Amino acid sequence: MTRMNREATVRRLLEQSPPPVPPGLHAEAARRGARLLRRRTLARRAMWLVLLAVTVVFVVWALTVRPWVEPPSETTPPLTVW
């Protein structure tokens, strides 16, 4: 198809009257959109809750294990009297 043919086809399609919209389509679309928004909001809140729980668990673990402290040496015996 050449460019002129494509343009002519598009112009014919645009000049035609739009197809009839089924009754109730708007209500169905609005219902689905509202449901989608509720699901997204719920998913976002769940992700924030999981992130908060992971952060709390990490902070508690870090405070109890204290990985930044060097562990005591267990390979050498304690120094006794000479």
pLDDT in tens, 14-69: 999 988 899 999 999 999 999 999 999 999 999 999 999 999 999 999 999 998 88
Whether this prediction's pTM lies above 0.75 is answered by: no
Both tokens assigned to 38? 């509720």
DSSP string of 8-44?
HHHHHHHHSPPPPPPTTHHHHHHHHHHHHHHHHHHHH
Residue 1 neighbours by CB under 8 Å, 6+ apart: 9
